[in-house]
Structure 1
Amino acid sequence: MIPEELLRNFNAHYKDYKKGEVIFTENNTAFNYYQISSGIVKMNNYNDAGKEFIQGIFYKGQSFGEPPLFIDVKYPASAEAISESIILIISKEQLFKLLQENPLIHLKITQSLAKRLYYKAIIASEISSQEPAHRVLRFIDYLKNDVYKTTGDFTFKVDYTRQQIADILGLRVETVIRVIKSLEKDKQLKIVKRKVYR
């Protein structure tokens, strides 16, 4: 998202996180901007029954948890490394200085936040009104077309586990497994060595 060299020029620093290590927790105040240099991070909540709901999964080059920085609210979810990760961290004050001095970067941040809002609206609509197969396919197509901009049949590998897809879409993992097999049978997806391709 923001070039790493530019972040370092504004006093950003790298921090290593082990798999399963929490980066920040729900209801904490936001003081920093986080961008992934390597690894994978998820943002999640748990309901009263202990069921996890994944708000999003983020990869190299992506930032996460920045909306509270701009509106002075607490984090709505926790962030956790789901693989060994190196995160570039910059303070809120330094981030705002960087954005003021680099309006094109500011525009990119705004576009990224707008895409996430669009995605959240789509997922909310899917969860409330659509059949599981439609939800799963719509989610995968969003990743393929809008996030990774991949073209061609069965060229996009879904890096989410069945459990993660279930947690994002509000489904049971058994339902997601059944739906993916059904979509493969209908030639909508391809499964190669347990990996799903669209």
Structure 2
Amino acid sequence: MIPEDILFEYNAKIKAFDKDEKIFSENEIARNYYQVLKGAVKMSNFNDDGKEFIQGIFYKEQSFGEPPLFINVPYPANAITLSDSEILILPKERLLDLLTKHHDIHLKITENLAKRLYYKAIIASEISGQEPMHRILRFFDYLKNDVHELTSNSSFKIPYTRQQIADVLGLRVETVIRSIKNLEKKGEVKIISRKVYR
């Protein structure tokens, strides 16, 4: 998202995290900007029954946890590493200084946040009324077209496990497995070495 050299110019630090290590907790006050240098991070929380709901998964060069930073509210979810990771961390005050001096980066962050809002609206409408196969396909297309910005005719490997897809879409993992097999039969996805491609 923000070029690494510019982050270092504003004294960003690299911090290493082990797999399954918490970066910040739900209800913690936001004080830093976070960007993945290596590894992967999920933001998630749990309902009263203990079921996890994944808000998003973030990979190299993606940032996470910005909205609370800009509006001075606590984080709505936990951020936990999915693998050994390195995260660039920049304190809020330095981020705001960076954004006032780099309008192009400010615009890019605004665009990124707008994409996430769009995604949340799609997921909310899909969860409320659509069939599982439709939800899954819509989610895959969002990842391919909006997050990774690939052309529609290129093959895209879905970077989520079946369990993670279930946790994002509010489905049971068995439903996701069955739906993906049906989507393969319909020619909507391909499964190669247990990986799903759209």
Counterparts of 1:147 and 1:54 in 2: how far apart (Å)?
16
Counterparts of 1:122 and 1:69 in 2: how far apart (Å)?
24
Counterparts of 2:185 and 2:138 in 1: how far apart (Å)?
17
Does structure 1 residue 119 correspond to structure 2 residue 119?
yes
Cα pair 1:154 1:197 within 8 Å, conserved: no
Counterparts of 1:79 and 1:8 in 2: how far apart (Å)?
23
Residues 78-89 of structure 1: pairs in structure 2 closer than 5 A: 78-89=78-89
Once the two structures are TM-superposed, the CA of residue 152 in structure 1 deviates from its matched residue by 5.1
**Structure 1-normalised TM-score?**
0.98
Q: What are structure 1's unaligned runs of at least 5 residues?
A: none
The aligned counterpart of 1:128 is: 128
Does structure 1 residue 64 correspond to structure 2 residue 77?
no
Cα pair 1:154 1:189 within 8 Å, conserved: no
What code does the residue aligned with 2:78 have? S
SS in 2 for 1:43: strand
Aligned-residue identity in percent: 67
1:47-93 Cα shifts (integer Å, max 9, x gaps): 11111000000010000001001100000000000011100000000
**Structure 2-normalised TM-score?**
0.98
SS in 2 for 1:19: coil
Which deviates more, 11-20 or 144-153? Answer: 144-153
The aligned counterpart of 1:161 is: 161
Once the two structures are TM-superposed, the CA of residue 101 in structure 1 deviates from its matched residue by 0.8
Counterparts of 2:196 and 2:152 in 1: how far apart (Å)?
15
What code does the residue aligned with 2:138 have? R
Residues 1-198 of structure 1: pairs in structure 2 closer than 5 A: 1-151=1-151, 153=153, 155-198=155-198
Moved over 6 A (4+): none
Counterparts of 1:104 and 1:154 in 2: how far apart (Å)?
29
Counterparts of 1:42 and 1:30 in 2: how far apart (Å)?
16
Once the two structures are TM-superposed, the CA of residue 153 in structure 1 deviates from its matched residue by 4.4
Cα pair 1:30 1:68 within 8 Å, conserved: yes
Give the aligned CA root-mean-square deviation in angstroms.
Answer: 0.9
SS in 1 for 2:119: helix
Once the two structures are TM-superposed, the CA of residue 151 in structure 1 deviates from its matched residue by 2.6
